[in-house]
Structure 1
Amino acid sequence: MSTEQPWRSPMRDQMEDLLLDTRERINGLLAAVIAVAEDLSLEAVLDRLVRSACALVGAGYGALGVIGEDRRLSHFITVGIDEAGIRSIGDLPTGHGVLGLLIREPKPLRLHDLGQHPIASGFPPNHPPMRTFLGVPVRVRDEVFGNLYLTEKQGGVDFTQEDEDLAVALAAAAGVAIQNARLFEDSSRRQKWLEAGMELSSRLIMEPHAGDAESLDIVAGTALKAADASVAFIGVPAGDGVIRCRSCLGVQGIKAGQELVVSSAVTGVFATGESFVAPEPRQVFEHAIVETLGPVLVCQLGHGNSGNGVLVLARAHGAAAFTQADAESSSIFGSRIGLALDLARVSALREQDLLLTDRERIARDLHDLVIQRLFAAGLSIQSLRRFTTDPVAHDRIAAVTKELDDTIRKLRDTIYSLRTADVEREPLTGRILRVVRESSRSYGLIPKVSLDGPVDSVREDLAAQLLPVLSEALSNALRHSGAEEIQVSLTVSGDDVQLCIKDNGHGFSGPATESGLANMRYRAGLLGGRCDIDTIPGEGTSVKWVARLS
């Protein structure tokens, strides 16, 4: 019996080997696509793309360069070089030489020897040798997201057309995964901003705080976490191209009250209310801290006239840039928090007004009821002296009378302390309301008060000049104008404090009383300001007092 094997055509064997190899390649491509799409984290998707591409085409090294807004490589993910090797190489590529060619001409590129290309820029010291090269663009929809770089084909051979086709197919599938990861990341960021804004606004309104400084520190800290930033500070306008820092977290060399020179883009936020992002800190402000900072996000807290200022967030040098989702979400966050800060101030003023009113009531009751009764009791006890001649009884009556006198004196001290308690520590807003209330108490006319901007941040020496001016101007309007309505407005904006007292009284045609006006002008002059009086007979008078903040 014959044991010979059936004859097989060599061509058939070659075809079967080719089909088997093709099947393995297709299975490898499917496995690579599945691996890339398994995670929704953008960083994980990009890392798996590079690793899968290296395994698919047999590359020793791989990298993915993400193209930034300036058409240079903003992010570089490598496979095949360990952390120590990356550190020894130094700065990552930004898009020169062949890498830049792929940015300018996003199409597949295969090279036998990378270093021999006409525009090759060479390798930095400590860089491993790389010869064979395959580069393909990675597109997300119609946008070139970045480029996939593969080098050192196993076996020392060149990358083939089949390798190129597989890499192109993987890059196309990866584009979809990158888009999904981007959408998921944007959604997560928006959710994080939204939750932070809701929690913080409730906290600002419902929980008591020591004042604006503490509230702003809480805002800065919350925003720092929501934005994954390393630096956060809140600033208000302090002149052309300058903002004054009111709260600062995470940066050395800047403290509350310090002024920083900023770009017109920052000051423009006060006018437009629109958030903006900058990939480089030098696009935002001029200061030594820019050396340690990376991408920056600026948003407004509330509306332009609220006086809450702008929130500036910065990530560390080399960190991921802020996205459009961050800019849009921070605008919503800023509007919500600005409103919460305004409501918290109104609530604090209301509580303070209730406290002061209650203190005044207690003081009045003590004076009108308790002291008068004690005084009457003392007189009655003293009248008992005429009913006895006993020296011991006289001494006892004198002792009781002295105790009553001491009690009355202590009560009067208590009344005084109730009326003047914590005046030095009382916010300026509360002292303004108290001056208005006390000045108008006897006239049956309650002035309307408008406070705009960070009033409580005004320094004490300025407040010490402003309050007497307010009292003087109010007294003149109440006593002499015959007005039915008086408006008091205080605006803290930029580098000025503006106090305006306006009435609809009969005005005057002659010169203003020089003594009162001179006093107000003198106080303004001490602070580099001015005082103007405008009057129209029959229509009313307006006193405008302006002082410099700095």
Structure 2
Amino acid sequence: MTDDVDVLLEAVLSVGRGPELEGTLHRVVQTAADVADARYAALGIIGEDGRIAQFLTAGLSEEEIRAIGPYPRGRGLLGELIRHPVPLRLPDMSADPRSVGFPAHHPPMRSFLGVPLQVHGRPFGNLYLTDKRGGGEFSPHDQRLVEALASAASVAVENSRLYDEATLRERWARGNDEISRRVLEGDPPELVLDAVAQEAMQVAGADVAVLATVAVDQDDHLQVRSAHGPGTEGLVGTLAPLEGTFAAEAYAAGRPVVTHDAASDRRQTISFNPPSVVGPLAALPLGGPGRTSGVLTVGRRLGTPPFPRVVIDALAAFAAQAAVALELAERRHDAERLAVVRDRDRIARDLHDLAIQRLYATGLSLEGVGRRLQDRSDATADAERVGRAVTDLDETISLIRTTIRGLQPSTGTVRRVGLRARLVAEVDAASHALGFTPALHMAGPVDTLVPPPTADHLVAVLREALSNVARHAGAQRVGVELVAGDDVVLTVSDDGRGIPADARRSGLANLERRALELGGTLTVASARPGTTLCWRVPLDG
């Protein structure tokens, strides 16, 4: 009896040696295997859907785990303990009619002991032990030891869960403060959305995060505004249809869409590449039903724990802040546009009431002088010069009136924003990340010659190129040149460190695909110092 007490005391102390939940759970599994002298042990954490959401093992190597494939979800004997949470001890698993067998590459297992693990009287998971060392079966004594361990471990598990939740809420508060600061300081939407995606990925413990909003010119598509994590390089600016995706469902319903295994779901992820590596995934709308402006999507690697409720609550708060940032940016844009319209109206009035009237009066005076000069035979040349001056004044008045009409706001539908204005906006937005404003030069009738689809590609290419410079080049100067003629040519050059020979090219590959879709080319030249990117596509004559 004393030996059992010592064994249990040592086991409980081992389980409670660390505050983090993940580490505590792994110690529970290993300690259970040691107490019962089992070759293999596992802990199946029960998800909100009543199936196994996380499966931790002891006794299997990494190679064996990879060969077996996806973890079990709760069929057969494993599911029996979920449906009936009472201890289960079997001398031979294969002989039990509830057994469904093992997947390929699974090591053979014979004896079985299953014990439920409860926290605050509610099912938390189940301990599964197999293959008693020495070839025998698990005894009632082993069962009592594991039951006692499970009872004591529930306290450690609950403490670790509370610790993890407190840590997460602290990160949530810090992220919330950072995003709120950016919103209140009036940072550009791109910077706020980027901060939202980064903070969401950190708070959720996610591997990837993508934030997309409704495309300006295609309201049936989402456009990626920020992307972080492996497999997301070159995604900023790309479009995804508002159908058949988790993001589309979250956008349409105006509420979060959460799954523990996106890889096995027919709904594809918005843009993770390849989508098969994403397991737990959450897509959260920016705004509520009927007023959704975009979607925040985060994902974890396949086989990792699903997102708990507290994480979904934090992500929903971040998504709401992103919606507020977009709304404020739109209101600021409206206010700035109204200020410009008012200023143009004032200038138009001043031109009409002051400049034109003075020019008209000057023209009348000169006409009078011209008539008097015509009556003098020795002043014919002077009269002609005065006449030409009056003609010039008439042309100037006509030009000013044309300018006034251009300053007045259009009464028709809103015109599409010109490519020049969009490129200027991209350069201005990139200046915050670069720390300086790139030099921008445009030549040719850019707004007239470049069709809208090509213009959309150009904006996305420039955004990605400037983002790459800001993140990787360490440049002090950046030049952007756009020339429209038979071809449209976008050149982005910097004086940074250049592209390393072993650097990943996924972002550049995306830019090259855009060029190839339009029958064009992408060339990248590295110098010392600096890099020059040239994106060229033909224009239909």
Paired position in structure 2 for 1:362? 347
**Cα 1:342–1:31, aligned 2, differ >3 Å: closer, same or farther?**
same
- Is residue 205–residue 343 contact of structure 1 (8 Å, CA) maintained in 2? no
Paired position in structure 2 for 1:90? 69
| Partners of 1:343 and 1:274 in 2: CA distance | 22
**Cα 1:35–1:307, aligned 2, differ >3 Å: closer, same or farther?**
same
- Is residue 281–residue 299 contact of structure 2 (8 Å, CA) maintained in 1? yes
**Cα 1:401–1:90, aligned 2, differ >3 Å: closer, same or farther?**
same
192-201 or 84-93, which moves further after superposition? 192-201
- Secondary structure of 1:357 counterpart: helix
CA deviation digits over 1:294-347, x for unaligned, max 9? 545455534545453665656565443232223433444444444443333222
Deviation at 1:269, TM superposition (A): 8.4
CA deviation digits over 1:205-254, x for unaligned, max 9? 644658xx998788667656654274656688xxxxxx9443456899x9
Query: Could you tell me which amino acid in structure 2 is paired with residue 68 of structure 1?
Result: G
Paired position in structure 2 for 1:326? 311
Candidates 8, 23, 29, aligned match of 1:50: 29
189-198 or 254-263, which moves further after superposition? 254-263
Deviation at 1:368, TM superposition (A): 1.2
| Partners of 1:131 and 1:378 in 2: CA distance | 109
Candidates 42, 57, 80, aligned match of 1:63: 42
User: Is 1:352–2:347 an aligned residue pair?
Assistant: no
Paired position in structure 2 for 1:119? 98
**Cα 1:267–1:109, aligned 2, differ >3 Å: closer, same or farther?**
closer
Query: Could you tell me which amino acid in structure 1 is paired with residue 78 of structure 2?
Result: L
Paired position in structure 1 for 2:404? 415
Paired position in structure 2 for 1:440? none
108-117 or 219-228, which moves further after superposition? 219-228
CA deviation digits over 1:179-201, x for unaligned, max 9? 22222333444444554455445
Query: Could you tell me which amino acid in structure 1 is paired with residue 116 of structure 2?
Result: P
| Partners of 2:131 and 2:89 in 1: CA distance | 12
Deviation at 1:353, TM superposition (A): 0.8
**Cα 1:283–1:124, aligned 2, differ >3 Å: closer, same or farther?**
closer
Paired position in structure 2 for 1:372? 357
Q: What is the aligned residue count?
A: 395
User: Is 1:175–2:154 an aligned residue pair?
Assistant: yes
- Aligned pairs for 1:261-300 (under 5 A) are 275=256, 277-279=258-260, 294-297=279-282, 299-300=284-285
**Cα 1:262–1:83, aligned 2, differ >3 Å: closer, same or farther?**
closer
| Partners of 1:278 and 1:88 in 2: CA distance | 24
Deviation at 1:407, TM superposition (A): 3.8
| Partners of 1:156 and 1:286 in 2: CA distance | 46
Deviation at 1:74, TM superposition (A): 2.3
Paired position in structure 2 for 1:77? 56
| Partners of 1:49 and 1:368 in 2: CA distance | 86
Identity %: 37
Paired position in structure 2 for 1:543? none
Paired position in structure 1 for 2:132? 153
CA deviation digits over 1:361-406, x for unaligned, max 9? 0111112111221232233344334357345544543454455445
Query: Could you tell me which amino acid in structure 2 is paired with residue 144 of structure 1?
Result: P
Paired position in structure 1 for 2:326? 341
| Partners of 2:33 and 2:364 in 1: CA distance | 105
- Is residue 44–residue 55 contact of structure 2 (8 Å, CA) maintained in 1? yes
CA deviation digits over 1:433-454, x for unaligned, max 9? xxxxxxxxxxxxxxxxxxxxxx
| Partners of 2:113 and 2:311 in 1: CA distance | 35
- Aligned pairs for 1:12-51 (under 5 A) are 22=3, 26-51=5-30
Deviation at 1:64, TM superposition (A): 1.1
| Partners of 2:341 and 2:92 in 1: CA distance | 84
Paired position in structure 2 for 1:490? none
| Partners of 1:413 and 1:222 in 2: CA distance | 51
| Partners of 2:288 and 2:135 in 1: CA distance | 64
- Is residue 359–residue 393 contact of structure 2 (8 Å, CA) maintained in 1? yes
Paired position in structure 2 for 1:548? none
TM normalised by structure 1 equals 0.59
- Secondary structure of 2:48 counterpart: coil
Paired position in structure 1 for 2:386? 397
**Cα 1:404–1:268, aligned 2, differ >3 Å: closer, same or farther?**
closer
| Partners of 1:132 and 1:60 in 2: CA distance | 10
- Is residue 205–residue 341 contact of structure 1 (8 Å, CA) maintained in 2? no
- Is residue 275–residue 330 contact of structure 1 (8 Å, CA) maintained in 2? no
| Partners of 2:99 and 2:292 in 1: CA distance | 55
| Partners of 2:164 and 2:220 in 1: CA distance | 34
Paired position in structure 1 for 2:489? none
| Partners of 2:351 and 2:18 in 1: CA distance | 73
| Partners of 1:414 and 1:34 in 2: CA distance | 83
CA deviation digits over 1:86-115, x for unaligned, max 9? 122233333333323333332334444444
**Cα 1:284–1:85, aligned 2, differ >3 Å: closer, same or farther?**
closer
Query: Could you tell me which amino acid in structure 1 is paired with residue 400 of structure 2?
Result: L
- Is residue 204–residue 341 contact of structure 1 (8 Å, CA) maintained in 2? no
- Is residue 260–residue 287 contact of structure 1 (8 Å, CA) maintained in 2? no
Candidates 104, 110, 120, aligned match of 1:141: 120
- Is residue 245–residue 259 contact of structure 1 (8 Å, CA) maintained in 2? yes
| Partners of 2:15 and 2:160 in 1: CA distance | 11
| Partners of 2:252 and 2:162 in 1: CA distance | 27
Deviation at 1:260, TM superposition (A): 1.8
**Cα 1:311–1:134, aligned 2, differ >3 Å: closer, same or farther?**
same
- Secondary structure of 1:145 counterpart: strand
- Is residue 360–residue 418 contact of structure 1 (8 Å, CA) maintained in 2? yes
| Partners of 2:265 and 2:132 in 1: CA distance | 45
- Secondary structure of 1:121 counterpart: coil
Deviation at 1:149, TM superposition (A): 2.0
| Partners of 1:121 and 1:184 in 2: CA distance | 38
| Partners of 1:400 and 1:168 in 2: CA distance | 107
| Partners of 2:104 and 2:269 in 1: CA distance | 30
- Aligned pairs for 1:423-442 (under 5 A) are 424-425=415-416
- Secondary structure of 2:131 counterpart: strand
| Partners of 1:288 and 1:308 in 2: CA distance | 18
- Is residue 29–residue 41 contact of structure 2 (8 Å, CA) maintained in 1? yes
| Partners of 1:404 and 1:216 in 2: CA distance | 53
Larger Rg: 1
TM normalised by structure 2 equals 0.60
Deviation at 1:258, TM superposition (A): 2.7
Query: Could you tell me which amino acid in structure 2 is paired with residue 121 of structure 1?
Result: V
- Secondary structure of 2:408 counterpart: helix
Deviation at 1:360, TM superposition (A): 0.8
- Is residue 293–residue 317 contact of structure 1 (8 Å, CA) maintained in 2? yes
